[in-house]
Amino acid sequence: MLRSVNPATGEEIASYDAHGPEAIEAAIESADACHHRWRLAPFDERASMLDAAAQQLELRREPLARLMAEEMGKPIVDGRAEVDKCAWVCRYYAENGEAQLADTEIATDRTKSYVHHEPLGVVLAVMPWNFPLWQVFRFAAPGLMAGNAGLLKHASNVSGSALAIEEVFQEAGAPEGLFTTLLIPSSEVRGIIEHPLVRAATLTGSDIAGRAVAAAAGAALKPTVLELGGSDPYVVLADADVSAAAATCATARLINGGQSCIAGKRFIVDRRIHDDFVEAMVEAFQARTVGDPLDEATDIGPMARTDLRDECHDQVSATIEAGAGLVLGGAVPDGPGAYYPPTILTGVKPGMAGADEEVFGPAAAIMEVTDEEEAIRMANTSEFGLGAAVFTSDREKGEHLAATRLEAGACFVNTNVASDPRLPFGGIKNSGYGRELGVHGIQSFVNTKTVVVA
């Protein structure tokens, strides 16, 4: 039995019977059969389905946003934006997928030589709860446009969202079996990866989950794309606009209540502007409204589960015990729900939980450095490498540092790290491998086939 609990109240809102072995096998066989037809469908037919999915998302914008608020505490205003982004990614691949998969001719001594892209088949997507719709459509839009079929194993606390996504594709005219939600526990994932009809897997989640999926897929010789955790450094140099940098950093840390792999987590600040930056961050944090996710005025809802809230608090407490200073927040509030206040820690150093671990909640770790070189060194001293940002009035220098010095899959200058359907997204080190989105994303689950004519 899979249960969804409203994190704002602690009340169970729904329960779902898990799919048994027969249902799982039927779903896999149906997906494989559908793929063999879908891979031959012309691009305009695939594009039409994705356009229809975008329309369905927009028609269901309000109930989907409400569902996310109730299942994992996302403020309803943010939920609407997430639905809109999912519609965008569907339309982006509907418009661009064919060109991104076009044959590429390569001159050789033969009459004709070219690279042709064809889908792999059934792809299993193991997805997290923090962006219940976006994480799925980020895989599904390019994956289905490329001619693959998708199986979704979503986080159990957002099973309602998982079923709603399947319904969106059904109403969009997707053929039976093209996209199927499996209501299963994590213990079933290995067996699905090992199934001979499943050809690849993708996971967004923790590095622990990523290692498990990679091990299973590696043993079965199946490709994977893994987008794992992050401890994104935001480097604020001495010449940065402190007010603007702090405003952006506050948004980066508090997006989705801090429950984002690409949220800014370590704020590495030059000592010459450190105190002004801390003051501006406190002001920005205090301006956020914590409350009922269904309230239009709420900026930060509850965390998704009480155990996740408690884990975040334990990391904050451990960082303070190790010598960091508590400037704001840091206390579990009384009352129901998985709420946690916006929290700011200063004097954070390597070796502390706030610096070394991924803190998945609204807690910012501010780290003071003496100069640019120390800032870059500290930014790169992490087991993670998903995103990074640098703030400076010298845009040319900022671009140089982003392109050549910061170790991450996505580096931004004077703005917060964000995913975009037009750009590749993914990490290095313990943040995973492979890319989603952009031309690289749609080519992640295709066979790059060489064709030569004598």
Complete domains list, the chain, with CATH: 2-228+431-453 (3.40.605.10), 232-420 (3.40.309.10)
**Phi and psi (nearest 5°) for 212?**
-65, -45
pLDDT band, very low/low/confident/very high, at 347 (cuts 50, 70, 90): very high
Over the stretch 218-252, which tens digit does the pLDDT of each residue have?
Answer: 999 999 999 999 999 999 999 999 999 999 999 99
**Phi and psi (nearest 5°) for 419?**
-85, 150
The DSSP bridge pattern shows strands 224-227 and 384-385 to be unpaired
Q: Are 198 and 222 in contact (CB under 8 A)?
A: yes
Percentage of the chain beyond pLDDT 70 is 100
pLDDT band, very low/low/confident/very high, at 98 (cuts 50, 70, 90): very high
Torsion angle in degrees (nearest 10) through CA of 119, 124, 128, 133: 50
Over the stretch 279-333, which tens digit does the pLDDT of each residue have?
Answer: 999 999 999 999 999 999 999 999 999 999 999 999 999 999 999 999 999 999 9
Say which of 82, 227, 372, 436 is annotated catalytic: 227
Angle CA 218–223–226, to nearest 5 = 90
Which pLDDT score is estimated for 74?
Answer: 98
Q: Token pair for residue 295? A: 């309230």
Q: DSSP string covering 147-161, please?
A: T-EEEEE--GGGHHH
Over the stretch 157-171, which tens digit does the pLDDT of each residue have?
Answer: 999 999 999 999 999
Angle CA 184–187–189, to nearest 5 = 70
Q: DSSP string covering 222-261, please?
A: --EEEE----EEEEE-TTS-HHHHHHHHHHHHHGGGG--T
Percentage of the chain beyond pLDDT 90 is 100
DSSP letter at 264? E
Three-state DSSP class for residue 296: coil
Which pLDDT score is estimated for 217?
Answer: 98
pLDDT band, very low/low/confident/very high, at 424 (cuts 50, 70, 90): very high
Distance CA 245, CA 227 (A): 27
Over the stretch 169-180, which tens digit does the pLDDT of each residue have?
Answer: 999 999 999 999
Find the helix or strand (DSSP H, E) in which 168 lies: helix 159-171
pLDDT band, very low/low/confident/very high, at 365 (cuts 50, 70, 90): very high
Q: Are 222 and 200 in contact (CB under 8 A)?
A: yes
Mean pLDDT of the chain: 98
Distance CA 30, CA 41 (A): 17
Distances (CA, A) of 119 to 84, 296, 424: 27, 43, 19
Half-sphere exposure at residue 446, Cβ-oriented, CA atoms within 13 angstroms: 26
Distance CA 236, CA 364 (A): 14
**Known catalytic residue at 90:** no
Q: At what angle do helices 274-286 and 242-254 cross, to 10 degrees?
A: 50
pLDDT band, very low/low/confident/very high, at 58 (cuts 50, 70, 90): very high
Taking phi over 0 as left and psi of -120 to 50 as alpha, with beta for the rest, 395 belongs to alpha
**Phi and psi (nearest 5°) for 254?**
-100, 0
What's this model's pTM, rounded to 2 decimal places?
Answer: 0.97
Which pLDDT score is estimated for 131?
Answer: 98
Which pLDDT score is estimated for 270?
Answer: 98
Q: DSSP string covering 70-97, please?
A: HHH---HHHHHHHHHHHHHHHHHHHHHH
**Known catalytic residue at 396:** no
Distance CA 160, CA 168 (A): 12
pLDDT band, very low/low/confident/very high, at 102 (cuts 50, 70, 90): very high
DSSP letter at 188? G
Q: Token pair for residue 198? A: 């499943």
Partnered with residue 258 across adjacent β-strands are none
Q: Are 94 and 51 in contact (CB under 8 A)?
A: yes
Distance CA 57, CA 90 (A): 10
The DSSP bridge pattern shows strands 149-153 and 264-270 to be unpaired
Say which of 34, 86, 249, 261 is annotated catalytic: 261
Mean pLDDT, residues 7-26 taken together: 97
Distances (CA, A) of 90 to 50, 241, 437: 5, 37, 11
Q: Token pair for residue 205? A: 């989640």
Q: Are 342 and 329 in contact (CB under 8 A)?
A: yes
pLDDT band, very low/low/confident/very high, at 447 (cuts 50, 70, 90): very high
Distance CA 129, CA 3 (A): 13
CA-nearest of 41, 17, 130, 431 to 411 is 431
Residues present in the chain in total: 454
Over the stretch 137-151, which tens digit does the pLDDT of each residue have?
Answer: 999 999 999 999 999
Distance CA 365, CA 258 (A): 12
Burial of 399 (0-12, 13-18, 19+ CB in 10 A): middle
Which pLDDT score is estimated for 382?
Answer: 97
